[in-house]
Chain A
């Protein structure tokens, strides 16, 4: 589904990703872990097409298409979703109105019929249960006055409604209490299927208790330095990142 080859990218002239290579197959859940400043968020932003991030070398293909050549909204319509680390507030814009516009933009792109208000409401209600949100929430402005946990749940709710092929979670677990964490994981698990892939970027192992990954990668110094199964996450939790970094240095 996603093929990243020798990706070099950065922001404001500073190279952060230095030759990252990663392959995510359809239906797989990959966790990307790593210390602060290793380039985890840069990877999420580059894949989703955030402005000001520059790719200097390498390639990314998504379902065989050149992802980097697509505009931000095009990537979204093709099925790339980013659950943001810091979701922004859009005052005055109704949550449900916003999401309906998004769903219909995606459907239109796929050549599907746009949903009318009733159809959309039905879909939204169904998905709301997954993240344990109540209906009053739909009529609030996008993220305005939401608590940190509500914002993250809203991200997962949007993800559930948009049903993306590739979901990228950028430190969705940060700042969440244990209950919210479980709800978020529950939302992601509900999406899991042989058609959906997940790239879960996280600093800590704790989300991975609820969201068991197929693969775990360690990102350090802008590239993947170690890959393994779910047990790698546990090892990292116990031993920290230092030993991997040392290993990586020794290997050079």
Chain B
């Protein structure tokens, strides 16, 4: 393990390459015409175009939020191109028909679809730029009635499902970035697990940002019908870029009665160079709604992006519903993160757990922002929150803003917070036993994150540990 970390720590940002594929790109700028163009390009039904336009008109009345504890220059929304698609005219029947260059990119990323298909048993819906290129394992999933496809395809093939649930958790009026996404979202993933079905495999999507100046506006919708369950993995890498890229995704989860959804993310977008130049701006809205006896669990490992603004949340609508949030966030060099969760207890006997581990190194600034709200009718609600921060060096910072609002006196709330430094003493202790400083840091950090790592699916846990090693490279002494 330690060898692997060392090996990885010694490499440059590995995924920093650009694929040269002619993209079908809309001119920069945002207006109603662009919204119509996107909808037209995607051959969308009238109701969806209307929905986008409503969102766009609402967005015009909104202001970019400034409450987050992050600093960045103004974003010029008119300089961004809102649509880009790799040129691919006809539908593909098999992987062999995929553009070879595109395939090569996937191989470089280590997510060869064939490999995935043959070895891992993970169905992958690969989102390359904005258009889904290939989807595997579809037939196998279809046998048990599971729908797993690109968002566009879902709009065409399953319009009723999409129409019923789109915006039901994150309405188009929700917040500046979510509203922007609602107006211009390009593609994403859609997943529906029918009543009583336990998804037989981990579902996963790999995102990759490509094409300079193309904002990414993914939209993911996962619906677990009554008694269904699914585990969904999202993993990301991005090529090296010298200018900031905006990413404003929306993820909506719907867990109907007795259903459960586990959503795991390992995020490794380009964080900018050592001086903080370049890097991805990640403003994402993730939220799930849990109905009676349902459970929604978010697990995230965030090591990338120049700026992260992200609060995967749970609306605990139904009685006895459960929400969980396990997070590891790393900010090194000049990265900034303002992340956390919201747990909104509406139903009776609702329970939520928050475990947040923040690691700051270099000039990294990190904020945990969490809100736990117990509504009036949420009798016997329980929340447990734990926020721990680990500092490496003395130029970084950690901040914690826990908001708690309780409107029902039967609630039980627990909150624990700690801030620690990787002490000279801990390092010395490891080194005195023969362990190198680099390995010692990896070990101490992994130990710090253990409660979160054990929530991750196996293959992700290993990847996550490697990522931490890379992210904290050179953070010692």
Contacts and interface: CB of A to CB of B under 8 A. Distances in A.
B327 to A, nearest CB: 15
A73 B433 CA distance: 7
A101 B435 contact: yes
A22 B439 CA distance: 34
Given A92-B446, A93-B446, A141-B447, A76 B426 contact: no
B451 interface: yes
A162 B433 contact: yes
B433 A158 contact: yes
Contacts of B429: 84, 87-88, 90
B37 interface: no
Given A92-B449, A92-B450, A102-B433, A50 B428 contact: yes
A42 interface: no
A144 B296 CA distance: 32
Contacts of A51: 424, 428
Interface in B426-453: 426, 428-437, 439, 443-444, 446-451
A81 B434 CA distance: 9
Given A101-B2, A101-B443, A141-B447, A90 B426 contact: yes
Nearest to B423: A88
Contact of A73 (B431, B444, B447, B448): B431
Nearest to B433: A102
Nearest to A72: B431
A72 B439 CA distance: 14
A82 B431 CA distance: 11
A129 interface: no
B425 interface: yes
A127 interface: no
B434 A93 contact: no
Interface centre among B430, B433, B437, B449 (most CB of A within 10 A): B433
A9 interface: no
Nearest to A94: B447
A145 B448 CA distance: 15
Contacts of B431: 49, 71-73, 76
B448 A92 contact: yes
A236 interface: no
A81 B433 CA distance: 7
B447 A105 contact: no
A48 B432 contact: yes
A106 interface: yes
A109 interface: yes
B390 to A, nearest CB: 10
Interface centre among B423, B435, B437, B444 (most CB of A within 10 A): B435
B428 A90 contact: no
A106 B433 CA distance: 8
Nearest to A74: B434
A93 B447 contact: yes
Contact of B435 (A48, A73, A81): A73
Interface string A38-81: 00000000001111100000000000000000011101110001
A102 B434 contact: yes
B444 A76 contact: no
Contacts of A50: 428, 432
Contacts of B435: 73, 101-102, 105
Interface residues of B, number: 24
A102 B443 CA distance: 12
Interface string A98-111: 11011001100100
Contacts of B424: 51-52
A82 B432 contact: yes
A73 B425 contact: no
A105 B426 contact: no
Given A90-B447, A92-B449, A93-B443, A73 B437 contact: yes
A68 to B, nearest CB: 15
Nearest to B390: A91
B418 to A, nearest CB: 10
Interface centre among A52, A93, A109, A141 (most CB of B within 10 A): A93
Contacts of B426: 88, 90
Contacts of B447: 90-94, 141
Contact of B444 (A75, A82, A90): A90
Contacts of B443: 90, 93, 97-98, 101
Contacts of B428: 50-51, 72
A91 B420 CA distance: 11
A72 B432 contact: yes
Nearest to B437: A73
Contacts of A71: 431
A91 B448 contact: yes
Contacts of B451: 92
A48 B431 CA distance: 10
Nearest to A141: B447
Contacts of A72: 428, 431-432
B261 to A, nearest CB: 27
B394 to A, nearest CB: 15
Contacts of A90: 426, 429-430, 443-444, 447
Contacts of A48: 432
Contact of B434 (A97, A106, A141): A106
Nearest to B447: A92
Contacts of A98: 430, 433, 443
Interface centre among A84, A88, A162 (most CB of B within 10 A): A88
A88 B446 contact: no
Interface string A144-162: 0000000000000010001
Contacts of B436: 73, 105
Nearest to B439: A101
A109 B434 contact: yes
Contacts of B423: 88
A29 B261 CA distance: 62
Interface string B384-425: 000000000000000000000000000000000000000111
Given A88-B423, A88-B425, A109-B434, 15 more contacts: A72-B431, A73-B431, A73-B437, A75-B432, A76-B433, A90-B426, A90-B430, A93-B444, A93-B447, A98-B433, A98-B443, A101-B435, A101-B439, A101-B443, A162-B434
24 contacts: A48-B432, A49-B431, A49-B432, A52-B424, A72-B431, A75-B432, A76-B432, A88-B425, A88-B426, A90-B447, A91-B448, A92-B447, A92-B449, A93-B444, A98-B430, A98-B443, A101-B435, A102-B430, A102-B435, A105-B433, A105-B439, A106-B434, A109-B434, A141-B447
Closest 6 CB pairs of A and B: A92-B447, A93-B447, A102-B433, A76-B434, A92-B450, A105-B434
